[in-house]
Amino acid sequence: MSSNDLREEAVSTEKTQPLKHVQSPGVVETMERVEEPKKTLWEKVKTPGSVYQILISAAIAIAIGFAVNTTVDKVPVAAVDLCGIPGRIWLRALKAIVLPLIVVSLILAVQRLREMSRGGALLARWTIGYYLFTTLVAIFHSTILVALVWSKQFSEVDPDSRTVDKDLQKDIDSRSAYQAHDIVVELFDTLVPDNIVAAFANDILLGVLVASIILGYMIKDPATS
């Protein structure tokens, strides 16, 4: 038997023989090496949620919108609202799923950090501290630039150009009541929400993230407790 035959026999036995993977002390899992067959282009297109389906759908939507826009003088409002129902439902469902996924991912990530060595807790503290520090630096930097640089480049307009309607004037009056320190105070208030359900409902992402990190850090691992 030649060396090439021996080499081919070794490769074939390696493919068919199961591999042993040690998960934890005393527990052994058997894993078989399975080669996935290559998919054709049409099979990739038929795969649910594939990139090809997204690109084809976007191209069809652009073509329909361009054809309607160039051939119809006035599109009824009811037609726009009815055609937008699937898109609005999709966006609402996506919005409802994304935030819970972020919360679960953060809790699991903090748990994995705790399973690491002692540096895991230190890494979590550094991550949170770095996020808070960069946020505060961005706030102070923008405040200083507005006060010292951009405010001097503003020009005074004539009184006729400053006339606004009543609704816009109410908005201006409500926003002008905020001072620079109010933004910093509001930032720290949103770090710890007084109602986590309201924070979820109002999309207060910062409070939800902090609450998720604290919850993930406080959950004890049964293997280490």
Give the pLDDT confidence of 107-159 residue by residue, as tens digits. Answer: 888 777 777 655 566 776 787 788 889 988 998 898 888 888 877 777 776 76
Give the C-alpha distances (Å, rounded to integers) separating 87 from 57, 67, 147, 161, 220.
12, 19, 42, 40, 41
Q: Does residue 32 fall inside a structural domain?
A: no
What the block records as the tokens of 148 is: 């010292």
pLDDT above 80 (res 31): no
Least confident among 26-30, 40-44, 129-133, 137-141: 26-30
Backbone angles phi, psi at 22, to 5 degrees: -85, 115
Our count of domains for the chain comes to 1
Please tell me which residue, 134 or 12, carries the higher pLDDT value: 134
Q: Does residue 16 fall inside a structural domain?
A: no
Please tell me which residue, 52 or 3, carries the higher pLDDT value: 52
Q: Does residue 47 fall inside a structural domain?
A: no
Mean pLDDT of the chain: 76
pLDDT at 63: 93
pLDDT at 112: 79
Q: Does residue 89 fall inside a structural domain?
A: no
pLDDT band at 192 (very low <50, low <70, confident <90, very high): confident
Q: Which residues have a Cβ under 8 Å from the Cβ of 172 and sit 6 or more positions away? A: 164
Q: Does residue 82 fall inside a structural domain?
A: no
Written as one letter, the residue type at 145 is: L
Give residue 215's domain range: 96-151+175-225
Q: Which residues have a Cβ under 8 Å from the Cβ of 27 and sit 6 or more positions away? A: none
Q: Does residue 43 fall inside a structural domain?
A: no
Least confident among 35-39, 85-89, 177-181: 177-181
CB 193, CB 86: distance < 8 Å: no
Backbone angles phi, psi at 6, to 5 degrees: -65, -40
Among 219, 208, 195, CA closest to 103: 208
Q: Does residue 201 fall inside a structural domain?
A: yes
Q: Does residue 103 fall inside a structural domain?
A: yes
